[in-house]
Structure 1
Amino acid sequence: MAGLWVVLGVLVAGSAAGLLLRRREGRVKTTGKAPGTVPDLPAAVTGVLDPERVTLVQISTTFCAPCRHARAVLTTLADGTDGLRHVDLDVTQRPEVAQQLGVLRTPTTLALAPDGRELLRVGGVPKAGSLLDALRPHLPNAGMRPGG
């Protein structure tokens, strides 16, 4: 009988953990950093920043299946939105880049201002609508281009 309770306990704990992880998947998180604080970014990131647009830096690894889905979402969003650019940064051979950025999982998307300030980050595959809503205050004309 005790074994049955152990099995039920493990199933409940596992289900709760799974629901919590699913709920957090793709959620936009704003940074708690003070406005105007420009972090010391790795060269791999500063080299891809756009001086006039918000850059979505997707941190990926080679064998990450959700990374392909995130890439499709972010590419479509960036192609259809003024003032937005998407860059995919594979950290498979450069784990120190992920470590410097505080990235613990892939895909993770960082939205960076032209000066390198982190505006927000998303762990997992982002939801395009939520991400665009969170980015609106940082975009020049806060909307999708016609046909985008």
Structure 2
Amino acid sequence: MHPPSLTGALVLVAVLAAAGAFGWWRRRHDGRLRAVRERTPAAPGRTGSGAAGDPPHRATLAALGVRPGVVTLVQFSAPVCAPCRATRRVLDEVTGRLDGVALLEVGVDEHLDAARDLDVWRTPTVLVVDAAGRVVRRAAGVPDRAELLAALAPLTAGAAR
């Protein structure tokens, strides 16, 4: 008889440790608003930049319905996405609390090119677009209500109550 091999047990422990680390990382980053750095030149094949001086993706955002002069929350969602419904509830509550903030829900299945242009790779994804038409923050997953309110406060400071 051969002594029992520990290789299988070690592989199992390694896989469980990797899965646990990934779950911890995902939970810490899911739904967190992060600042978006503005790209100066458009990447090859990108359609989002317009005239000189325009924010990147202005044409794409305008085609989706983002109006100039209005702070807009753009939610990319899919019909079979359960977290998208939770995100919609959070965004409805936030836009109900703040004047001067519009909400736009975009179906990725109908607007696949726009999703690609805006680097949306999962649903839900929320983009915070300032009044100048720049994407200033983004979150993949259900955003935290308090964090979203804090991010919108400086953008809506001039909105009339």
Classify the TM-score, shorter chain: 0.7 to 0.9
How many aligned residue pairs are there?
A: 142
How large is the Cα RMSD of the aligned pairs?
2.1
Aligned residue identity for 2:30 = E
1:127 aligned partner: 144
1:140 to partner: Cα distance: 2.5
Match of 1:140 in 2: 157
Shift of residue 134, structure 1, vs aligned partner = 1.5
Which of 28, 40, 50 is the matching residue for 2:67?
A: 50
Structure 1 residues not aligned, in runs of 5+:
none
Q: The residue matched to 2:20 in structure 1 has which SS? A: helix
**Which stretches in structure 2 are left out of the alignment for 5+ residues?**
1-5, 41-52
Which among 62, 65, 83 is matched to residue 66 of structure 1?
83
* Structure 1 residue corresponding to 2:17, chosen from 5, 12, 29: 12
Q: Helix, strand or coil: the match of 1:66?
A: helix
In structure 2, how many angstroms separate the alpha carbons of the residues matched to 1:8 and 1:73?
38
Opposite residue 33 of structure 2, the aligned amino acid is V
Code of the aligned partner of 1:6: V
Structure 1 counterpart of 2:33: 28
- Pairing partner for 1:89 from 92, 106, 116: 106
SS of residue in 2 equivalent to 1:138: coil
Relative to the length of structure 1, the TM-score reads: 0.86
